[in-house]
């Protein structure tokens, strides 16, 4: 009698459904991306679950498919709420970012005032030469990034010196709290000048960052520019040019 191999052949192990896995991944991504991938995740989850039910011996991953369907559905339901959240809070985030950068700019202006004060102390009270003050102050400036704007640090220097302080001494300024020392200017404009160097769009801007001879820094509105003293010993400009 021929020998008969009576050993049972092992059944192939069931594979995890790729659609079930993809559904769960897309559902999770949908929560993180405001539902952008959740719709596809929901479709794949339903199709994958149907395939698993029909081919239970060959496919597994029913729990993954259900989890993908539920997660994708939650992400889709959350889309309107996320949209409302973004509409409410993103402007607030932008405003906070702008406010933070303005504070950095004002701090930079304050540091420049301190470096000018150090220069005056070591040079008989005279202000640095207006035409090349950034170069003259380099030994006093720890980080030259303070000469740039935090809004666009790659754009170059954003500060100019009041040209009318040329050849003046600090102690001779009679109204230091009103007399402009340095001010926010157009990118890479001449290192010294007056109102003509202010950034364009005067009427649209909320304020200009200006540092004064006494060392304080203020954000001056366009309406207040004519109250400032640019020429020591003279009255403020009567009009904004």
Please give the average per-residue pLDDT across 19-30, as a whole number. 76
Return the structure tokens found at 214: 């006494």
Assess whether 41 and 128 both reside in one domain. Answer: no
Which residue range is the domain that position 77 belongs to? 15-87
Assess whether 144 and 206 both reside in one domain. Answer: yes
Number of domains present in the structure of the chain: 2
Q: Mark residue 78 as left, alpha or beta (left: phi above 0; alpha: psi -120 to 50; beta: remaining).
A: alpha
Assess whether 131 and 177 both reside in one domain. Answer: yes
* 111 found inside a domain: no
Please give the average per-residue pLDDT across 21-27, as a whole number. 77
* 2 found inside a domain: no
Could you say which of 60, 87, 114 is where a domain stops?
87
Assess whether 80 and 132 both reside in one domain. Answer: no
Please give the average per-residue pLDDT across 161-184, as a whole number. 92
* 232 found inside a domain: no
3-state helix, strand, coil in the chain (%, to 5): 50, 15, 35
Return the structure tokens found at 86: 């973004």
Most confident of 82-96, 174-188, 224-238: 174-188
Assess whether 71 and 129 both reside in one domain. Answer: no
Assess whether 127 and 219 both reside in one domain. Answer: yes
**pLDDT of 183 over the 90 cut:** yes
Assess whether 82 and 130 both reside in one domain. Answer: no
C-alpha 204: how far from its chain's center? 21
Listed in sequence order, the residues at least 6 apart from 18 whose beta carbon sits closer than 8 Å to its beta carbon are 48
Cα 40 to Cα 17: distance, rounded to the nearest angstrom: 16
Assess whether 138 and 60 both reside in one domain. Answer: no
Annotate 136-194 with DSSP letters as a single string: HTGGG-S-GGGGEETTEEEEEE-EEEEGGGTT-BGGG-S-TTTBEEEEE-STT--SEES
**pLDDT of 106 over the 60 cut:** yes
Q: How far lies 91's CA from each of 81, 95, 116, 150, in Å?
A: 16, 6, 38, 19
Assess whether 212 and 136 both reside in one domain. Answer: yes
Return the structure tokens found at 166: 């040329």
Reported pTM: 0.59
* 106 found inside a domain: no
Return the structure tokens found at 10: 């092992």
* 114 found inside a domain: no
CA-based end-to-end distance of the chain: 117
Assess whether 135 and 185 both reside in one domain. Answer: yes
User: Tell me, what's the pLDDT at 4?
Assistant: 47
Per DSSP, the three-state class of 240 is coil
* 157 found inside a domain: yes
* 33 found inside a domain: yes
* 79 found inside a domain: yes
Per DSSP, the three-state class of 16 is strand
Most confident of 62-71, 72-81, 134-143, 209-218: 209-218
Please give the average per-residue pLDDT across 139-156, as a whole number. 83
Among the ranges given (43-52, 103-112, 130-139), the one the predictor scored with the smallest mean pLDDT: 43-52
């Amino acid at each position: 009698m021929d020998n008969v191999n009576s050993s049972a052949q092992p059944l192939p192990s069931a594979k995890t459904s790729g659609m079930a896995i993809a559904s769960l991944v897309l559902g999770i991504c949908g929560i993180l991306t405001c539902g952008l991938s959740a719709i596809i995740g929901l479709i794949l989850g339903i199709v994958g679950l149907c395939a698993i039910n029909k081919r239970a011996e060959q496919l597994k991953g029913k729990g993954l498919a259900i989890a993908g369907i539920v997660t994708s559905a939650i992400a889709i339901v959350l889309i309107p709420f996320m949209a409302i959240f973004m509409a409410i809070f993103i402007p607030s985030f932008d405003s906070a970012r702008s406010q933070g950068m303005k504070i950095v700019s004002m701090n930079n202006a304050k540091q420049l005032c301190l470096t000018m004060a150090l220069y005056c102390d070591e040079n008989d009270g005279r202000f640095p030469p207006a035409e090349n003050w950034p170069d003259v102050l380099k030994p006093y400036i720890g980080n030259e990034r303070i000469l740039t704007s935090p809004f666009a640090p790659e754009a170059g220097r954003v500060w100019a010196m009041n040209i009318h302080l040329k050849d003046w001494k600090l102690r001779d300024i009679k109204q230091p709290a009103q007399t402009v020392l340095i001010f926010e200017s157009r990118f890479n404009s001449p290192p010294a000048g007056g109102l003509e160097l202010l950034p364009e769009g005067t009427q649209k801007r909320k304020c200009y960052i200006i540092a004064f001879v006494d060392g304080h820094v203020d954000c001056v509105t366009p309406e207040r520019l004519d109250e400032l003293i640019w020429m020591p010993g003279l009255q403020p400009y009567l009009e904004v040019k």
